[in-house]
Structure 1
């Protein structure tokens, strides 16, 4: 029997939001559920009853309740949620208006900025008045090309209070990357900063903004937040105005909240855009709100006394997820900058100073932290910290052990997995349950998640395609510029009609948890056997000589062979002995099928701006195929390192 790395104390279980929710459900439905597994089975068997319970338990504010939760819980896509309800997303996030701290901004080389809930409400009212004065109305689009700063949150709240849809990407996207996204949705107002800081360097965005505005004729106002300079020169940028000159300064303004249908567009999110033009996914007000509340309140156990940070940019859905923590009254810490600047221990000192209770990050950050020899538990007081959340890629077992050894013994390490498409998770944390190394604790409540084999049969204990077999509220309403829904259906429902195929290669475990083995569209297929890349990365990046890696399949002699590219650690080289040691580790710890046919050293590993490896782009390059939308990458120049390599012809 597998031994857990951590289990919650009886006291922690007793005071958990999820325990109160169990009691709430039992009292409403005459049930006697005592465990997460029992609650999960009910939540996916009685889908309308479950989501109605979340709506009530989490206190959704609505001027009119829903007539029914979902019109057809068996139809996917096309199910309609919370029909008849009228509500406003910003009103739910601004329900608290007291002197508790709502936002803390911590940025490279900046003094901390703190805004109370009362102050956040007032600043949102001032900006909303300016947006209304500029002609913004329900159904318009307002976009942000911004760092992770308070003005980004305020702009989103102001826009959604009116009923405009919000869409954002981070300022490290190039001109083409921003235009490829915003050009499709035709925003009326664009918020931006004059630049940003990263790794101790200043990046002036003004030239880029000029190029963006030249290609976005629908933008009537570019509202610029001074970030690098107090009074940046905007003379060369058309239709630009400084933020302080645009927003009202009047105190005590009312903030009308437009009461809108449940499926009114709230967010427009984007696919990575590494294999074609980014898909624009339109997400609805009630679906996103209720799903975020479920994940924050029940799965993360978040409340008013918590302080939460998630390392994210405004181009990643974890930003939207993080900001929804305002709806439960927590203190949200916004960080903008390089996580390892000025040194690898920087964020843990921040965690100590801000008394973080929940720290969210990426699996790659935790892996890099271990390689750097950082020992946060020794160097910092992390007494209040009770949970670490990790996403973006599979968290290897070694990183689980590292967290419990070097960060803190008594905390919940929740590896979570979902996607931009649903602005949430399919599998995530369970505050009532144990943590097992290498596993996500549970499937999300209300998400009928299965693993299918090649024939579309549900399996457990073996690898297959992660699917969801019933609709859920945060599914995209539709894709922008997809009038007949063809792009939407092709994205998720082509392989298994009527079933959402997410594109992850996964496995359900005997503990009730899940293991993610990587993206199924990047799954390797040597000899016709599907294998995941995550297992290879785990072995490669466990070696101190290897800083990073990326693995792809190469078409070869009528089959496919495994190619592993590695970026060496400083001062190390890829010797024959190291190659053999790595091959032996993969053969013995994974399987002979996983052993790469070629191991090749490269100077850089290409990744998206959200730090996800781009296996498909590398695969295209080595086969001489074009890579579209290179602006979606943080380091597109790295792709040239993989072109016409002599080792790939051998």
Structure 2
């Protein structure tokens, strides 16, 4: 296969990872050349590798580590950078100059900018206010907030004193918030008065009143003005306006709490589509060093960069994005619909802000192509050098679209990981070629393998994504799981002492990664494993199809493949379209990929982060309950799948 893109010699020469290879070679008297030799060394000598990341990334610590890794009989028991003490927020606030740290753009809102010096000052004032409110290390501070500057300030202020931050998007309804925050009992809650989406403002305060009735632990609600200048909050218990809460003094210094490497930093949540969300607790040090590795070496982030990721505060990509402060880059925050006021809104933002790194979802890229946008003809994207994509597998057609209609000289970095590790297993790399349908590489220091049915590591064959050695950003524990029972069941039940992630993948001969969808949604017609992504790639490349979802149904002691499609506007669903879909799949995949049934649907159910929920649809079809619809952006879309006559035996 010919690559779609090759990095220039200049780009390779100036990349952070090239400097890192030189640094490692000198420090350890090695002769590594290029990414593949670096990757092999990083998994063979993990302790030296992570020690090199610590030094190269200039981790700020009040006490150095005594030992890089204290291994354990189980991956869960591994301890990293034993003896060290640090503070996450201090590492993100190491720069305190006049360079712009944060740019915030909301729908139809004036752009707001904040320098690193201003950010430090505002965090210092907020930290003082939180201390005076009684926050101490280990307390939970929560955010029901848009992706805005005050959210970053609140997180940094909380974590500067060793409190644990947890956030969710303001489009969660009351039950969705309670399913999350109700488990962790936060002391302080930050909220905006509302948020904007698709040209409309949405109120958050009415929901806050309902949330507080069932969260008695909250001692203070800090309300950020956003959709209105100063809303009356008298009816909300213990509420105070942001500007009245934050300390008034200028020139304060932050008293950073330097705590052990594995001190709790974030509480993250599973999607919750099959039950109450799991509360995954991530440590400060592991999160920090993993993000330094990903930003510096895989994304090639530098101080002069301007990085954007379309995300809400309920998705781990928000946590990923804000850690770019540790490199000193400018972060571009956005609240609203990426299609408002038109499908080119994000590319307009990229042009206006001279964005260098643009992050989005595979779903967004496919949607932009569907509406016929050709960004390279309509916007000045000369500053843009990297596009990151995650959330679901990026189709081969979307790879071609980016190089054809967005920009030819671009590192298209499809990345994949999860909230579970608050980072990535597979990513981009600025010194590697881009191949159609592939993630460029496995993450440095991450021993990622594809396991077949027999638990053997295979290359060039499809298998289960397994990480067979410990890594720093594993959850330190699950909330309310003192014996680690839920933790072990989540990742270590399939392959003993191997992290089983639940993705169906192939590692290619040149070290790339192909992802075929979630393995728990993998189809098995006739005993042949088929990843759902293999079908999506064919169907969603068709102009007639707006979206789709594919599931397996138990049928006559086998599994039959069901495909539900949402047609594009003004496209009629009929036998001719069904035949075209089958022909496309048969010719571009295999006859086994052709669905037994293809049915029309008005909407495709997905999570708030845009991920299709095959398991929820399959449960509905099989008459099983879907226990947490609040994790879905459009829960009513599930109703269509109940009692379909075509699916009855």
Q: TM-score, normalised by structure 1?
A: 0.99
What's the CA shift for 1:346? 1.1
SS in 1 for 2:240: strand
Partner of 2:290: 291
Partner of 1:204: 203
Q: Name the CA distance, whole Å, in 2 between partners of 1:50 and 1:161.
A: 27
With 243-252 and 355-364 compared, the bigger mean Cα shift is at 243-252
Partner of 1:546: 545
Q: Name the CA distance, whole Å, in 2 between partners of 1:474 and 1:393.
A: 21
Q: Name the CA distance, whole Å, in 1 between partners of 2:394 and 2:16.
A: 26
Partner of 1:259: 258
* Preserved CA contact (<8 Å) 1:196 1:202: yes
With 336-345 and 584-593 compared, the bigger mean Cα shift is at 584-593
Q: Name the CA distance, whole Å, in 2 between partners of 1:69 and 1:119.
A: 35
Q: Name the CA distance, whole Å, in 2 between partners of 1:384 and 1:616.
A: 41
Partner of 1:329: 328
Partner of 1:600: 599
* Preserved CA contact (<8 Å) 1:389 1:414: yes
Question: Counterparts in 2 of 1:117-516, with a 5 A limit?
Answer: 117-516=116-515
* Preserved CA contact (<8 Å) 1:75 1:470: no
What's the CA shift for 1:197? 0.5
What's the CA shift for 1:91? 0.3
What's the CA shift for 1:73? 6.9
SS in 2 for 1:567: strand
SS in 1 for 2:288: helix
Partner of 1:24: 23
Q: Name the CA distance, whole Å, in 2 between partners of 1:526 and 1:211.
A: 47
Q: Name the CA distance, whole Å, in 2 between partners of 1:543 and 1:34.
A: 42
Indicate whether 1:54 and 2:53 are aligned.
yes
Residue-by-residue CA offset, 1:173-203 (whole Å, 9 max, x unaligned): 1100000000101100010111111011111
Q: Name the CA distance, whole Å, in 2 between partners of 1:306 and 1:350.
A: 15
Residue-by-residue CA offset, 1:586-605 (whole Å, 9 max, x unaligned): 11211111111111111111
Indicate whether 1:15 and 2:27 are aligned.
no
Q: Name the CA distance, whole Å, in 1 between partners of 2:585 and 2:508.
A: 22
User: Deviating runs (4+, > 4 A) in structure 1?
Assistant: none
With 278-287 and 638-647 compared, the bigger mean Cα shift is at 638-647
What's the CA shift for 1:207? 1.2
Q: Name the CA distance, whole Å, in 1 between partners of 2:523 and 2:150.
A: 43
Partner of 2:101: 102
What's the CA shift for 1:42? 0.4
SS in 2 for 1:136: coil
What's the CA shift for 1:168? 0.4
Q: Name the CA distance, whole Å, in 2 between partners of 1:73 and 1:360.
A: 36
What's the CA shift for 1:149? 0.4
Indicate whether 1:528 and 2:548 are aligned.
no
What's the CA shift for 1:558? 1.8
SS in 1 for 2:433: coil
SS in 2 for 1:581: helix
SS in 1 for 2:237: coil
Residue-by-residue CA offset, 1:197-228 (whole Å, 9 max, x unaligned): 10111111111111111111111001111111
Partner of 1:65: 64
Q: Name the CA distance, whole Å, in 1 between partners of 2:640 and 2:372.
A: 29
Partner of 2:637: 638
Q: Name the CA distance, whole Å, in 2 between partners of 1:410 and 1:73.
A: 45
SS in 2 for 1:511: coil
What's the CA shift for 1:574? 1.1
What's the CA shift for 1:256? 0.8
Question: Counterparts in 2 of 1:64-103, with a 5 A limit?
Answer: 64-72=63-71, 75-103=74-102
Q: Name the CA distance, whole Å, in 2 between partners of 1:233 and 1:597.
A: 57
* Preserved CA contact (<8 Å) 1:127 1:158: yes
* Preserved CA contact (<8 Å) 1:74 1:471: no
* Preserved CA contact (<8 Å) 1:545 1:569: yes
* Preserved CA contact (<8 Å) 1:17 1:301: yes
Q: Name the CA distance, whole Å, in 2 between partners of 1:158 and 1:346.
A: 32
Residue-by-residue CA offset, 1:312-341 (whole Å, 9 max, x unaligned): 000000000000000000000001100111
SS in 1 for 2:75: coil
SS in 2 for 1:215: coil
SS in 1 for 2:294: helix
Q: Name the CA distance, whole Å, in 2 between partners of 1:585 and 1:500.
A: 36
Q: Name the CA distance, whole Å, in 2 between partners of 1:568 and 1:195.
A: 33
With 473-482 and 585-594 compared, the bigger mean Cα shift is at 585-594
Gaps of 5+ in 2: none
Q: Name the CA distance, whole Å, in 1 between partners of 2:396 and 2:559.
A: 28
* Preserved CA contact (<8 Å) 1:73 1:471: no
Q: Name the CA distance, whole Å, in 1 between partners of 2:84 and 2:203.
A: 44
Residue-by-residue CA offset, 1:283-322 (whole Å, 9 max, x unaligned): 0011000000000000000010000000000000000000
Indicate whether 1:619 and 2:618 are aligned.
yes
What root-mean-square deviation, in Å, do the aligned CA atoms of Structure 1 and Structure 2 show? 0.8
What's the CA shift for 1:511? 2.0
Q: Name the CA distance, whole Å, in 2 between partners of 1:218 and 1:404.
A: 51
Q: Name the CA distance, whole Å, in 2 between partners of 1:201 and 1:572.
A: 29
What's the CA shift for 1:245? 1.0
What's the CA shift for 1:540? 1.1
What's the CA shift for 1:235? 2.3
Q: Name the CA distance, whole Å, in 2 between partners of 1:424 and 1:546.
A: 32
What's the CA shift for 1:430? 1.1
Q: Name the CA distance, whole Å, in 2 between partners of 1:74 and 1:579.
A: 53
Q: TM-score, normalised by structure 2?
A: 0.99
